[in-house]
Structure 1
Amino acid sequence: MAAVSVLGAGSWGTALAILLNSNGHNVTIWSIIEDEVKELNETRENKSKLPGIHIPQDITITNSLEEAIDDKELLVMAVPSKFVRNTAKMMKQFVREDQIIVNVAKGLEDTTLYTLAHVIGEEMPNNHIAVLSGPSHAEEVSRNIPTTCVAGSKDHETAKKVQDIFMNSNFRVYTSSDVTGIEMGGALKNVIALAAGISDGIGYGDNTKAALMTRGITEISRLGIAMGADEQTFSGLSGIGDLIVTCTSMHSRNRRAGILIGKGYKLQEALDEVKMVVEGVYTAKAALDLSIKYKVEMPIIRQVNEVLFGGKETKKAVQDLMIRDKKIEYTN
C-alpha cells in the first residue's frame, strides 16, 4: 500500500483518487477551493463534475497543501494545465526529493510552449517526474469500465512504480520512456477534437471526421518528432488511442465545445455551456506557435486557431483545408 495524494478535485482527479483507493492505497484529495473541499467532505460526491459517483469515506479531502504532500510516496497533479506552474510553485516548499510527481493534465504552457512535465521539472528539478495518459474518460474510469493508459518517465523505475500503483484488473497501464511524445499526443489531440466537434456541429458526416482524425494524427506526430519524440508513440495509447476517444465521445468536453461552435456559438458561449475546462482552447495557440518554431506544417491546427480567435467562419475553414495544394499522402 502506498500513500498517495491527488492534487486537484476535478472529474479526472476524483476518478483517479477513487481508483487508487480501490487499489488499497491511502489516498488524499487536495483542492485549493475551500467551498469545494467542504462540499466534497459533506456529500462525498463531486456533483458538478462527476455526479452519481460516491467518494469513499476513507479518502481524506483537504484544503491544506502541506497536509496533502506530507509523507506521501506519490503526488498526482490533476489541476488544469494553466494552473500547473503555480501549483508546482506552491508545492515545492513542502516536497521531498524522494517523492514521485505524476502529471495527468493534458496541455502546454502557452507562455513558454513547454510541456507540463517540463514545467514541473523546472520548479522541482530534483524529483522524478512521470506522466499518465491515454484514452481515459473520468466518467468511465470511475465506473470501473476497462481502460488502458501509458505511464511515461525518463527513469524506467519511476514509470514501473507508477504502473504498479495504478494498475488493476480494469485499469491496465503500460510504460514508456517517451515523455515528450506522450505529452504532445495528449495535448494536441484536444485541438483536433475541437475540429472534429466543429465538423459535427456543422452537420458533416463520418467521412469528414475520419479525415480530420487521420490527418490530425499526422500533424501531431510531425510536430512531436520534430521535438524529439518517438514516432511509434503516436500509434499508441497516448497518440491515436486518445485522439479516437476524444474526437468521438460526448464525454469529451473538447468535442462538445466544438459541436457548439460548429452550430454557431461564439467561443465564450460554448465554454459557458460546457461548464468545464476545455483544454484544447488553451493549447491551440501554443500548438500553432510550436509549429512555427519547428517549421512544421499543421493546417488543421492553423484553421482551428483562425476559427477560435480570428472569427473565421467554420465552413470556410473546412473549405480552405479541402482546396489546399495537391499532396502525396506517403512516399516510398
Structure 2
Amino acid sequence: MASKVALLGAGKMGQAFFSLLQKNHVDVSMWDVDCSKIPDAKPLAETVSGADFVCLCMPSWCIRSAVESLVPLLDSKTILISISKGIEKDTGFFIHEIFSDLLPKKQSYALISGPMLAEELQNDQGGVGVCASPSEDVCEKVRLLFDPTSLRLRTSTDIESVELAGVLKNIYAIALGIAEGLGWQKNRVGWLCGKAIEEMCLVATRLGKDEKVMLSPAGVGDFIATSFSEHSSNRSFGQSVAQGNIDKKGEGVVAFVSLEKKLGKYQPEEFPVVYALSKILNENAPAKEVFEYLFFAHA
C-alpha cells in the first residue's frame, strides 16, 4: 500500500519534494498557509488526516506556529519531517528542540539535511541527504519513502550534530558569497573554503557535537552545494553584503546571532570567519576591509 504524504509549504522545496514523490506514485498532497498558491487545496485537517508522513517545507521561523497547529491534528503514527535548517531566534532552539518542546512524547519525527537544491531535485538531477532521528526505525522508514527517487538518504541517530551541520553550512555559505561579491579569485576562495570547513569542525567540538558529521553530506556536502549554486539564498545574501546591502533575513543570518550566543566569549583567532562575519553583520564594518584582514592575518 502506498504511503500517504502531506507536504506543508508550497515554496521551491515543497514543489521539488512534491515532484519527486509524485513521480514515484506516492499518495502526496500539498498545503500552504497562502491559499492562492494551491487554490484547490483541502483544509489543513483533511490534508494531514491519515498521513504516514507530514513534511514541513518552510523557513525555520515558521516551524513553531506550524507544529502548534498540527499537534491536535496528527495521528499518533504520523512521522513529522522537517527540511528546515535554522535556529529559532527567540528561544535559541534548533528544530528538533522545537519538536521535543511541542509534540506528544510518542510522536515520531525526523530531519533531512544535505545538498538538496530545489531546482536540481525538480530537474531530477538528484541529491543526497542525511535523515536524522532519535529512532533508527523512523530513519529507515523515511529512507525507504525516498528510496525509489533520485534523493539518496543516509541515516543517523545523532540528530543534534546533523542539525548543527545544516545550520553552519548556511552561515559559512554567507562568507563564501561575500568573497565572491568582493571579486576574490579561486586561490583565495579555495583557502576560505578550507578555513570554513576547519572552523565548522571546531565549532562542533566547542558545542559538544561530533565533528565527523561536519564532514558528511549534511555538513561539507551541503556547504559546497550552497556556496557555489546560483540558486542559493545564503550565497546571494553574502554577495549583497559585499556590496554594502545588509537585509537581515534568511536562514543563515538569523541563525548567526544565535550561534554567537551559543559559542559564548571567544577570541578572534579561535573562529576567524565567524569573527569576520560578526564585524560585518553586527558592527556594519566594511566587508572589503574585514575580509582583507581575514586573509592576510589567517592565511
**The TM-score by the shorter chain falls in which range?**
over 0.9
- The Cα shift of 1:282 comes to 1.2
Q: Does 1:66 align with 2:45?
A: yes
SS at match of 2:38: helix
Q: Write out aligned runs for 1:115-154 (5 A).
A: 115-126=94-105, 127-154=107-134
CA contact (8 A) 1:288 1:302 kept: no
Q: Output the CA distance in 1 between the equivalents of 2:63 and 2:120.
A: 24
Task: Quote the RMSD (CA, aligned, Å).
Answer: 2.1
- The Cα shift of 1:170 comes to 2.0
Q: Does 1:92 align with 2:71?
A: yes
Structure 2 equivalent of residue 109 of structure 1: 88
1:32 partner amino acid: V
* Larger deviation, residues 158-167 vs 168-177: 168-177
- The Cα shift of 1:259 comes to 1.3
2:262 partner amino acid: L
CA contact (8 A) 1:180 1:228 kept: no
Q: Output the CA distance in 2 between the equivalents of 1:35 and 1:148.
A: 31
CA contact (8 A) 1:191 1:284 kept: yes
- The Cα shift of 1:295 comes to 9.1
- The Cα shift of 1:299 comes to 2.5
Structure 1 equivalent of residue 229 of structure 2: 249
CA contact (8 A) 1:81 1:109 kept: yes
Q: Which among 287, 290, 294 is matched to residue 314 of structure 1?
A: 287
In the alignment of these two chains, the number of paired residues is 296
- The Cα shift of 1:265 comes to 3.8
Q: Output the CA distance in 2 between the equivalents of 1:294 and 1:89.
A: 36
Structure 2 equivalent of residue 225 of structure 1: 205
Q: Does 1:83 align with 2:58?
A: no
Given the superposition, is the C-alpha separation of residues 17 and 113 from structure 1 closer, same or farther in structure 2, using an over 3 Å criterion? same
CA contact (8 A) 1:180 1:224 kept: no
Structure 1 equivalent of residue 135 of structure 2: 155
1:237 partner amino acid: P
Q: Output the CA distance in 2 between the equivalents of 1:95 and 1:301.
A: 40
1:185 partner amino acid: A
Where structure 1 has 5 or more consecutive residues not aligned to the other structure, the ranges are 42-60, 272-276, 328-332
CA contact (8 A) 1:184 1:220 kept: no
* Larger deviation, residues 302-311 vs 246-255: 302-311
1:72 partner amino acid: A
Q: Output the CA distance in 2 between the equivalents of 1:294 and 1:81.
A: 26
TM-score, length-scaled by structure 1: 0.83
Superposed structure 1 runs of 4+ greater than 4 Å apart: 293-296
Structure 1 equivalent of residue 246 of structure 2: 267
Structure 2 equivalent of residue 282 of structure 1: 254
Structure 2 equivalent of residue 300 of structure 1: 273
SS at match of 1:267: coil
2:89 partner amino acid: D
TM-score, length-scaled by structure 2: 0.92
Structure 2 equivalent of residue 32 of structure 1: 33
SS at match of 2:264: helix
CA contact (8 A) 2:79 2:138 kept: yes
Note the alpha carbon deviations across 1:228-247, whole angstroms, 9 max, x for none.
Answer: 43222111100110011111
Q: Output the CA distance in 2 between the equivalents of 1:14 and 1:293.
A: 41
- The Cα shift of 1:293 comes to 7.1
Q: Output the CA distance in 2 between the equivalents of 1:234 and 1:72.
A: 32
Note the alpha carbon deviations across 1:282-313, whole angstroms, 9 max, x for none.
Answer: 11111111111799943212321321232110
CA contact (8 A) 1:7 1:30 kept: yes
Structure 2 equivalent of residue 182 of structure 1: 162
CA contact (8 A) 1:77 1:103 kept: yes
